[in-house]
């Protein structure tokens, strides 16, 4: 097996040779004429002149060689539905959806906005866009009308695909009224709205002349035969708006050929997924993980992919492991937040199922704390590989790569720079950091295949957002703090805009969170910087305790708070000590598990917490308000 160092070095020093070899992992209708063109930095084009199609690589080529092979498994613990599609059946459904698009006037290069729950039709909708050369823009289901309207105006979709409702915690979450309001707010009006009616919203409004029923049109195109549209490698495949944007939304634009190659290579070198096996990502198609590792990556590799509608706790905390056993999952992908949720449940749920086929669990989305990392590895008895990437990159920047070389897991670390990424750490002045020195994680361009090619409709914003923090050399900024140890392992310390400046001392919230969580009574914690007249900012911690009885009296609260602060003092020094540690039973998160730290900070400073339409449990905000008043 090639050593990681040699593999990575070649990917940087011999891009033509390295990526030329990786390009052989996918099907090309026309081979590339040039591996990459970096003549206009920081813009780069990959596999110039090559013609391919994401849908063909994900579906058709496997339908031709393995038509009965398992491709898509839709499981809903909300509606108690389960359906498996073979590659041949998936191709048939995708062609029906593609024929519907064409009947509604969608052409190559047109945009289709997808506002859908985690149902099989959402996968058909995405793949059908790729099939005919249209550009999809998936917006997380249930997003607020105003946020949806800004994305409609930016993407200008010909057609919007939606459903009457999603399901969460056994309750319908209606979508249509939010979509109707968004369209009324938007200046751009779609030609048609394609609705999948699940029968969950009996009061759904139907707009005559605009809204069309999916089941009706599907029946009309039941025998559809829609050939793939071959596109040049650099043509856009989709737009995905980054979370947390304000004002004009920022649409990450992804290419086609580079993305296909990047995903195919990652399935081989990072995830070690093989044709005929099953991949289970617990994410949502509204996020980048859902694009890369629910829809495209596993299917490109010839694997079955699981599309799951539900929570990790319904009907009980063993549901994910039950799915792993029944579907013979070999590779799983989740988030650190989910692990911390499961850590609070009875460990018997993990022992109940046969997980012998599961080789590794991968996590991304936020930094992994060492305690949860160790717990999950102990419970599963397999590698739990934390890895780091962004919506912008489309796939991992830092990871262990067991398909290249067996590398040891280091708790709390996402590993090493992935092949193709020239990752370095930079000081504020642009100079490079040494070992064990905190700096900003940057990538010296060209960015490898699969990363964003630009910001949709705004090349200037692409440059000004990502390539102006450092000029000499030109560097892509991740806006994340990191540190690298003597062995080369990286650790992510949080966003550069999550840095707390306490009396001139710069403190990463992630570092303080790690220290607080070192106390055995703490299950989970969020630390935010709160305005302080004397010191500028002070850290404030909101901690979830494992046992509510540990804080059921004022005396116990005071004792635990004192003990937590003592640990922080010993780990980071008194300067990092939180002004307060508030003990609550849950932290506010989106439905995909992302912590709403900005909202927590706003509440702590007496400000409006902002758009909370994606929050999983609104009661957690009330707990924070109550805790702040009580102190």
We report the CATH number of the domain holding residue 164 as 3.40.50.12780
In a domain, 489, yes or no: no
Residue position matching structure tokens 């910001």: 455
In a domain, 485, yes or no: no
Among 322, 175, 291, 311, which Cα is nearest to 593's?
311
Alpha helices by DSSP H, 156-232: 176-185, 214-220
Q: Indicate if 440 and 525 belong to the same structural domain.
A: no
What lies within 8 Å, CB to CB, of 517 at 6+ separation is: 369, 371, 524, 525
Question: Is there a contact between 104 and 194 (Cβ–Cβ < 8 Å)?
Answer: yes
Q: Indicate if 99 and 160 belong to the same structural domain.
A: yes
In a domain, 165, yes or no: yes
In a domain, 264, yes or no: yes
- pLDDT at res. 156: 98
- pLDDT at res. 505: 60
Measured CA to CA, the distance from residue 526 to residue 181 in angstroms comes to 34
Domain membership of residue 533 as a residue range: 503-630
Burial string for 88-127 (b: 16+ CB within 10 Å, else e) reads: bbbbbbbbbbbbbbbebebeeebbbbbbbbbbbbbbbbbb
In a domain, 414, yes or no: yes
Measured CA to CA, the distance from residue 246 to residue 138 in angstroms comes to 18
Measured CA to CA, the distance from residue 388 to residue 482 in angstroms comes to 11
Residue ending a domain, among 480, 512, 531, is 480
Question: Is there a contact between 397 and 419 (Cβ–Cβ < 8 Å)?
Answer: no
Measured CA to CA, the distance from residue 280 to residue 308 in angstroms comes to 9
Q: Indicate if 180 and 54 belong to the same structural domain.
A: yes
Among 518, 331, 307, 277, which Cα is nearest to 411's?
518
- pLDDT at res. 508: 74
Q: Indicate if 415 and 528 belong to the same structural domain.
A: no
Whole-structure pTM value: 0.85
In a domain, 491, yes or no: no
Q: Indicate if 528 and 584 belong to the same structural domain.
A: yes
CATH number of the domain encompassing residue 534: 3.30.300.30
What lies within 8 Å, CB to CB, of 300 at 6+ separation is: 26, 54, 57, 58, 260, 263, 264, 267
Q: Indicate if 203 and 154 belong to the same structural domain.
A: yes
Question: Is there a contact between 610 and 561 (Cβ–Cβ < 8 Å)?
Answer: no
In a domain, 346, yes or no: no
In a domain, 369, yes or no: no
Asked, as a colleague might, if the bond just before 473 is cis with ω within 30 of 0, I would say yes
Measured CA to CA, the distance from residue 143 to residue 221 in angstroms comes to 31
Measured CA to CA, the distance from residue 155 to residue 110 in angstroms comes to 9
Q: Indicate if 531 and 463 belong to the same structural domain.
A: no
Domain count, the chain: 2
How many residues are recorded in the chain? 631
Q: Indicate if 529 and 606 belong to the same structural domain.
A: yes
Report the run of H or E that residue 314 belongs to, with start and end.
Answer: none
Strand partners, 536: 502, 532
- pLDDT at res. 32: 98
Residue 518: burial class (beta carbons within 10 Å; 0-12, 13-18, 19+): middle
Cβ neighbours of 428 (radius 10 Å): 11
- pLDDT at res. 187: 97
Beta strand segments in 319-372, E: 329-334, 360-363
Q: Indicate if 394 and 287 belong to the same structural domain.
A: yes
Residues of the chain scoring pLDDT < 70: 1, 142, 243-247, 497-499, 501, 503-506, 533-534, 592, 611-614, 631
Report the run of H or E that residue 561 belongs to, with start and end.
Answer: helix 554-572
- pLDDT at res. 305: 98
Question: Is there a contact between 626 and 542 (Cβ–Cβ < 8 Å)?
Answer: no
Beta strand segments in 165-254, E: 165-168, 171-174, 192-196, 211-213, 231-232, 238-241, 251-254
Measured CA to CA, the distance from residue 133 to residue 359 in angstroms comes to 36
**Which of the 8 DSSP states describes residue 589?**
B
Q: Indicate if 441 and 589 belong to the same structural domain.
A: no
Q: Indicate if 26 and 144 belong to the same structural domain.
A: yes
Measured CA to CA, the distance from residue 285 to residue 337 in angstroms comes to 18
Residue 306: burial class (beta carbons within 10 Å; 0-12, 13-18, 19+): buried
What lies within 8 Å, CB to CB, of 597 at 6+ separation is: 498, 509, 526, 528
Residue ending a domain, among 414, 446, 480, is 480
Residue 520: C-alpha distances to residues 543, 550, 564, 614 (Å): 12, 11, 10, 31
Question: Is there a contact between 17 and 6 (Cβ–Cβ < 8 Å)?
Answer: no
Q: Indicate if 292 and 434 belong to the same structural domain.
A: yes
Measured CA to CA, the distance from residue 46 to residue 120 in angstroms comes to 31
């Amino acid at each position: 097996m090639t050593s990681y160092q040699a593999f990575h070095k070649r990917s940087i020093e011999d891009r033509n040779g390295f990526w030329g070899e990786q390009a052989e992992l996918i099907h090309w209708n026309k081979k590339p004429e040039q591996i990459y063109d970096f003549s206009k930095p920081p813009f780069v084009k990959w596999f110039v002149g090559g013609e391919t199609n994401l849908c063909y690589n994900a579906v058709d080529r496997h339908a031709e060689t393995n038509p009965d092979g398992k491709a898509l498994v839709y499981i809903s613990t909300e509606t108690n539905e389960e359906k498996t599609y073979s590659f041949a059946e998936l191709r048939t459904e995708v062609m029906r959806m593609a024929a519907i698009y064409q009947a509604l006037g969608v052409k190559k290069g047109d945009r289709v906005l997808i506002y859908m729950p985690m149902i099989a039709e959402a996968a058909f909708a995405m793949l059908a866009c790729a099939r005919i050369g249209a550009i999809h823009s998936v917006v997380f289901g249930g997003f607020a009308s105003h946020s949806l309207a800004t994305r409609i105006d930016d993407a200008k979709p010909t057609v919007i695909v939606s459903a009457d409702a999603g399901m969460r915690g056994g309750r319908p979450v209606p979508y249509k009224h939010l979509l109707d309001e968004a369209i009324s707010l938007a200046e751009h009006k779609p030609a048609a709205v394609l609705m999948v009616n699940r029968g969950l919203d009996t009061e759904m409004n139907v707009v005559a002349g605009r809204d069309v029923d999916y089941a009706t049109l599907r029946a009309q195109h039941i025998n559809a035969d829609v050939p793939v549209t071959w596109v040049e490698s650099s043509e856009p495949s989709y737009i995905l708006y980054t979370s947390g944007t304000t004002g004009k939304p920022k649409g990450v634009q992804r290419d086609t050929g580079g993305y296909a190659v990047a995903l195919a290579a990652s399935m081989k070198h990072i995830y070690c997924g093989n044709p005929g096996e099953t991949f289970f990502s617990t994410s949502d198609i509204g996020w980048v993980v859902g694009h890369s590792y629910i829809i495209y990556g596993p299917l490109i590799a010839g694997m079955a992919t699981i599309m799951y509608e539900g929570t990790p706790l319904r009907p009980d905390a063993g549901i994910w492991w039950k799915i792993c056993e029944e579907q013979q999952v070999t590779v799983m992908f989740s988030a650190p937040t989910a692990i911390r949720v499961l850590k609070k449940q009875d460990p018997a749920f993990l022992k109940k199922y046969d997980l012998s086929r599961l080789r590794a669990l991968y996590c991304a989305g936020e930094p992994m704390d060492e305690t949860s990392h160790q717990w999950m590895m102990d419970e599963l008895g397999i590698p739990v590989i934390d890895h780091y990437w962004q919506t912008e990159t489309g796939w991992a920047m830092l990871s262990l790569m067991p398909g290249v070389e067996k590398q040891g897991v280091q708790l709390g670390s996402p590993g090493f720079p992935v092949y193709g990424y020239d990752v370095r750490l930079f000081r504020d002045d642009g100079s490079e950091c040494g070992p064990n020195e905190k700096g900003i994680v940057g990538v010296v361009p060209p960015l490898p295949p699969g990363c964003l090619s630009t910001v949709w409709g705004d090349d200037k914003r692409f440059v000004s957002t990502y390539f102006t923090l450092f000029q000499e050399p030109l560097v892509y900024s991740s806006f994340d703090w990191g540190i690298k140890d003597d062995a080369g392992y990286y650790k992510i310390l949080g966003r550069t805009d999550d840095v707390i400046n306490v009396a001139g001392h710069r403190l990463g919230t992630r570092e303080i969170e790690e220290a607080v969580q070192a106390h055995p009574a703490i299950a989970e914690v969020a630390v935010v910087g709160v305005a302080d007249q004397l010191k500028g900012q002070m850290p404030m911690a909101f901690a979830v305790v494992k046992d509510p009885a540990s804080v059921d009296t004022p005396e116990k609260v005071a004792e635990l708070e004192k003990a937590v602060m003592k640990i922080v003092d010993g780990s980071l020094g008194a300067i990092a000590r939180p002004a307060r540690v508030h003990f609550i039973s849950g932290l506010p998160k989106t439905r995909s598990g992302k912590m709403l730290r900005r909202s927590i900070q706003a509440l702590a400073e007496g400000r409006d917490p902002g758009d909370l339409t994606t929050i999983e449990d609104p009661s957690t905000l009330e707990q924070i308000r109550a805790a702040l008043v009580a102190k």
